Amino acid sequence: MREMYQNLGISDAVLDFGLKVEAELKERFDGLDEVAEYNQLKVIAAMQKHRVSAECFQSTSGYGYGDLGRDTLEEVYATCFKGEAALVRPQITCGTHALALALMSNVRPGDEILSPVGKPYDTLEEVIGIRPSKGSLAEYGVTYAQVDLLPDGEFDFDGIKKAINERTKLVTIQRSKGYASRPTLSVDRIGQLISFIKGIKPDVICMVDNCYGEFVEKKEPLEVGADMIVGSLIKNLGGGLAPIGGYIVGTKECVENAAYRLTSPGLGKEVGASLGIIQSFYQGLFMAPTVVNSALKTAIFAANIYETLGFDVVPNKTESRHDIIQAITFGTPEGLCAFCEGIQAAAPVDSYVTPEPWDMPGYDSKVIMAAGAFVQGSSIELSADGPLREPYTAFFQGGLTWYHGKLGILKSLQKLYDRNLVNNI
Ligand SMILES: *Cc1c(COP(=O)(O)O)cnc(C)c1O
């Protein structure tokens, strides 16, 4: 084994340090395995209930009327995540698109959207119009209000109560921290927030941006009162196999609104050919519980490595996990870039290229990204990114297999070690 690691450029010092850290994580990993087992059974039960069959994998083209695979998959999603209906489509191009669709279809001019958990994910600033943008909700006369979390990470219940008014139509709750440094919300905390909000205004739509959170816990947000959960299929639920796609699961009303916006008023869910990729959506969902399990092991391993070496990590090495993202603060651009280079160098695809910071659309500073992925931009595959701004934090996530994740983290550490950016190994 040691020789295999050596062949991949991992020195004895780095490997020994890594193995020592891993040895202490056994109990933690057993807990993760239990969640994965539970979610695996959930997926299988949903597929059996809706009689998934070989016919479901057939391709349709054109309008896609009566696409059995598409319609059955949406029933599987609805059952699995405890919604009344679902929209799961290759025509939803990414997570931002799914979120934009869910928002734009469920509000009307004059309505207000409230985020009670601080600033949303960068790309949503343009969807909402927090940063002026063509086609934003602001251009259509939809206003936005925001209440930040308190400095200790708690909800600002007084502030939220004051912010809810007669125009508040939809509340958007981001489960994962994204590029912020706040803690990620557990499903239970999301539930507390939703009951508080519905206690004040029962008919408000509570939407959860579920990106990166799926299958991390046994429960999902619809089970604690959310009306809609929204996410990307090149993250957790695509299991690394879906080549594109997004999903919305929730109440019949919310999902129908989204379908009429995605296709056309009058057509809704009835059209949308699956173009031969629906099998990867099924198989990806089937794989997702164990893929998320690998990603979580990788994140926890990294937190334990880098916290031990004196870096700031969120979540820290013992905290419970509510999404698959790990933030590591390097404090210097050299540290951030070395980390990303290591992740890239460990990849099965494009391992020989060096990632460079670039001006990525939708982001307001340069971003460095490492991804050697089978699906371009897929962030359920081991990938790292970080905006090139203080305090030089790398956000990383994924790992389709734990063994690849482990190699990636060791390789990142090797890069820092070789450049004298870490000591006390
Ligand atoms: C990734 C992500 C998005 C946007 O998804 P894309 O597929 O990158 O457009 C939105 N919200 C959160 C919390 C995310 O992690």
The pLDDT assigned to 362 comes to 65
Determine the distance from the C-alpha atom of residue 164 to the mean position of all C-alpha atoms in its chain, rounded to a whole number: 27
Of 261, 198, 265, nearest in space to 226 by CA: 198
Q: How confident is the model at residue 379 (pLDDT cuts 50, 70, 90)?
A: very high
Of 163, 148, 95, 92, nearest in space to 124 by CA: 95
- Separation CA 423–CA 316 (nearest Å): 20
Q: 367 CB contacts (<8 Å, ≥6 apart)?
A: 357, 358, 359, 360, 385, 386, 387, 388
Ligand 1 touching residue 231 (CB < 6 A): no
Residue 134 is encoded by which pair of tokens?
């063509």
The number of CA neighbours under 13 Å toward the Cβ of 173 is 31
Q: What is the DSSP string of 78-144?
A: HHHHT-SEEEEETTS-SHHHHHHHHHHHH--TT-EEEETTSSPPHHHHHHHTSS--TT-TGGGT-EE
Q: Which atom of ligand 1 is nearest to the CA of 212?
A: 15
Read off the pTM.
0.96
* Residue of 99, 211, 214 to test ligand 1 pocket, by largest number of atoms within 8 Å of CB: 211
Q: Tell how far the Cα of 54 is from the centroid of ligand 1, in angstroms.
A: 32
Could you read off the pLDDT of 37-66 as tens digits, one per residue? Answer: 999 999 999 999 999 999 999 999 999 999
The DSSP symbol for 230 reads E
Residue 255 is encoded by which pair of tokens?
């999902």
Indicate if the pLDDT at residue 13 is higher than 80. Answer: yes
Q: Tell how far the Cα of 108 is from the centroid of ligand 1, in angstroms.
A: 23
Report whether 400 contacts 380 (CB < 8 A). yes
Indicate if the pLDDT at residue 18 is higher than 90. Answer: yes
Ligand 1 touching residue 360 (CB < 6 A): no
Question: Do the first three CATH levels of 2-40+286-418 and 61-280 match, i.e. the same topology?
Answer: no
Q: What is the DSSP string of 337-354?
A: HHHHHHHHHT-SSSTT--
- Separation CA 167–CA 334 (nearest Å): 47
* Residue of 97, 123, 207, 378 to test ligand 1 pocket, by largest number of atoms within 8 Å of CB: 123
Q: Tell how far the Cα of 238 is from the centroid of ligand 1, in angstroms.
A: 14
Domain extents in the chain: 2-40+286-418, 61-280
Of 404, 403, 402, nearest in space to 373 by CA: 404
Ligand 1 touching residue 176 (CB < 6 A): yes
Q: Tell how far the Cα of 209 is from the centroid of ligand 1, in angstroms.
A: 8
Ligand 1 touching residue 211 (CB < 6 A): yes
Q: Tell me the CATH number for domain 2-40+286-418.
A: 3.90.1150.60
Percent of the chain with pLDDT over 70: 99
Could you read off the pLDDT of 334-377 as tens digits, one per residue? Answer: 999 999 999 999 999 999 999 999 988 767 789 999 999 999 99
Of 299, 346, 341, 356, nearest in space to 323 by CA: 299
The number of CA neighbours under 13 Å toward the Cβ of 349 is 12
Could you read off the pLDDT of 220-260 as tens digits, one per residue? Answer: 999 999 999 999 999 999 999 999 999 999 999 999 999 99
- Separation CA 104–CA 99 (nearest Å): 8
Report whether 342 contacts 408 (CB < 8 A). yes
Indicate if the pLDDT at residue 179 is higher than 90. Answer: no
Protein residue with its CA nearest to atom 8 in ligand 1:
95
Q: Which atom of ligand 1 is nearest to the CA of 94?
A: 7
Q: What is the mean pLDDT of residues 394-409?
A: 97
Give me the torsion for CA of 148, 151, 156, 162, rounded to 10°: -60
Ligand 1 touching residue 247 (CB < 6 A): no
The DSSP symbol for 218 reads S
Please give the C-alpha separations between residue 24 and each of 12, 65, 169, 410, in angstroms, as whole numbers.
19, 54, 48, 16
The pLDDT assigned to 160 comes to 98
- Separation CA 343–CA 246 (nearest Å): 26
CATH value of 61-280 in 3.40.640.10, 3.30.420.40, 3.30.70.20, 3.40.1190.20 = 3.40.640.10
Could you read off the pLDDT of 122-155 as tens digits, one per residue? Answer: 899 999 999 999 999 999 999 999 999 999 999 9
Ligand 1 touching residue 232 (CB < 6 A): yes
